[in-house]
Structure 1
Amino acid sequence: MIHDLDETIKQILYTRGRLNRDDVDIVFDQPTGEWAASLNKPTINLYLYDIRENLERRYTAPLEVERTDRSGKRIFPPRRVDINYLITVWAKEPEDEHQLLWRILETLMPMSHIEVDMGVGAVRDQPLDMPLLVALPSDAVRNMPDLWGVMENQLKPSINLMVTIALDPKKAIESPLVLSTNVRFGKKAPNEIGKIIDFDDHEIYHIGGRVMQGNDPVGAGVEVRLVNRPEAIKTDGQGRYVFAAIYPGDYEVDVTIDDRRPKRLKLTVPSDNYDLFL
């Protein structure tokens, strides 16, 4: 859900803020000094630094009661969770940073909430629109210089963005986790039990994403196949797929809906996002 919220905010900034994707990057990395040194074009960073329940929006009374002849079921409202982002802008010239900061304010401040229909992926399944608070003080960080010191970076002007989302604690978790594994191979030292020499590290990834048509997942039964690998994966009801034991690199993926001709897409491992867009 949080990843889909990231993508929703990114889409809002690009479309409503009329930003050119070729000119400005939008990322969600921790803005450390090492990260900042690697930038090569203007970048908007939305660093998710705090997640906490919104107790003011917690309601314990049931929304409704479903009754049958001999029993009843109480339906309680979802919990509300505040997602806090620290928005900063990184460019060579201060003037460019200030113009982008103002563009972000112009885009987000008129919005009192994110409408469900504006969302990407799981955001569209939210039961309620998501309130926004922009450029207000945060209780989570009381000393900004300390935060920047921990990240080993210089203090930057920033905008606090808080989005309140709904979480149903009774909803079943069906989607698998996406994990990466570091595998170390080595030669056993002769005559020494347990001692290994000549280590060789390999990153192996278990990846997963969704097959999307526009802003919506495709649903169950769509075939996803890595070119030159024998196995084919079928998406679940949320349009999700998972591949296990993938080495870093660039891959081609064939996606087949029903009996249509497969559509070939590109996939890079590792990546921040493994969603496939048809």
Structure 2
Amino acid sequence: MFADLDATLQAMLDDPTAPADLRTADVSFVTPDRDYKPPQATINLYLHEVTENRALRDEARVMERTGTVWSSRLPSLRVDCSYLVTAWSADTGGLKVANEHRLLGLALMWFSRFPVIADRFLQGSLKHPPQPFPLPSVVAQTGEGQAMGHFWTALGTPPRPAFSVTVTITVDPFDQVEQFAAVERLHIDTGSITDPRLGGRVLDAALSAVPGVVVSVVGTPLTAATDVAGRFALPGLEAGACTLRVQRTGAPDLDVAVTYAVDRQFHDVVLPTP
């Protein structure tokens, strides 16, 4: 992941359209500490901070459909990767300073041309599979109240001109995926508050309507046959718990316990697989 981001930034500096001095300079990702003395002109990109971008955090689960199956997973993390960019020359004295400043300025101008890193630069896992979001980059900005003096002190080297490049990548650390069947049909029944009746549909195991079967309420004379859509209606029943009995030719009766009320008038019955 980080190595692929390193390779992506190097590809930007090696691009044929980049300034010639950037293309001929060496690119290094090692820590620029007191022992760092590159033997040639070098652009150093030191990855010094990795933090979650909370402004881009998404709490909603990611839903994806493949055929008749939906999958649900936790959202990706958006991670800011911050590099400290410095320029180094093997020259001495004023020539060294002039060359480093010129090289650093070229790097600043070049990276600033890409507020979103172009796809042609992406390497490794940042390219295959493709990142779900473009890779934004922010150049020459630091966090509020952040100073670099302590940074150079920790490295044990004198402060030198530098700027930051922060690239936001997408990371998927979660591998748990929930799957469930997609909703194929939505059926809505309407009832009456003033004239309630116990109703519903009789369906087979494939959720297709089963017409012509007899539905009754056990212990009462209420009975009805299902229509072509598998619907039945049994008016005049008092609210409360009851048992529906489905009688089919050539199959045993099926009893289903339900609770009937004004706000619970409809109860579908799904027949078991023969």
TM-score, length-scaled by structure 1: 0.55
8 Å CA contact 2:136–2:168 kept in 1: the answer is yes
Q: Secondary structure at the match of 1:82?
A: strand
Tell me how many residue pairs correspond in the alignment. Answer: 168
Q: Deviations over 1:34-80 (max 9, x none)?
A: 113xx2111110010000111111101134353887x7432443110
Q: Secondary structure at the match of 1:80?
A: strand
Displacement after TM superposition at 1:18 (Å): 3.1
Displacement after TM superposition at 1:145 (Å): 1.6
Matched, 1:28 2:29: yes
Q: Tell me which of the two structures has the higher relative contact order, counting C-alpha pairs closer than 8 angstroms and 6 or more residues apart.
A: 2
8 Å CA contact 1:138–1:160 kept in 2: the answer is no
In structure 2, what is the Cα distance between the partners aligned to 1:67 and 1:122? 23
The one-letter amino acid of 1:8's match is T
Displacement after TM superposition at 1:20 (Å): 5.5
Residue segments in structure 1 that go unaligned for 5+ positions in a row = 173-278
Give 1:52's aligned residue: 51
Matched, 1:162 2:169: no
Q: Secondary structure at the match of 1:133?
A: strand
Matched, 1:128 2:133: yes
In structure 1, what is the Cα distance between the partners aligned to 2:173 and 2:81? 17
Q: Deviations over 1:181-221 (max 9, x none)?
A: xxxxxxxxxxxxxxxxxxxxxxxxxxxxxxxxxxxxxxxxx
Identify the range of structure 1 (84-93 vs 106-115) with the bigger mean alpha-carbon deviation.
Answer: 106-115
8 Å CA contact 2:63–2:70 kept in 1: the answer is no
- Which of 141, 144, 147 in structure 2 is aligned with 1:143? 147
Displacement after TM superposition at 1:154 (Å): 0.7
Give 1:79's aligned residue: 77
In structure 1, what is the Cα distance between the partners aligned to 2:160 and 2:175? 39
- Which of 105, 110, 133 in structure 1 is aligned with 2:108? 105
In structure 2, what is the Cα distance between the partners aligned to 1:80 and 1:169? 11
Residue segments in structure 2 that go unaligned for 5+ positions in a row = 177-274
Root-mean-square deviation (CA, aligned residues, Å) is 2.4
**Closer, same or farther: CA 19–8 of 1 in aligned 2, 3 Å:** farther
Percentage identity across paired residues of the two chains: 28
Displacement after TM superposition at 1:94 (Å): 1.1
Displacement after TM superposition at 1:3 (Å): 0.3
In structure 2, what is the Cα distance between the partners aligned to 1:19 and 1:138? 32
8 Å CA contact 2:86–2:162 kept in 1: the answer is yes
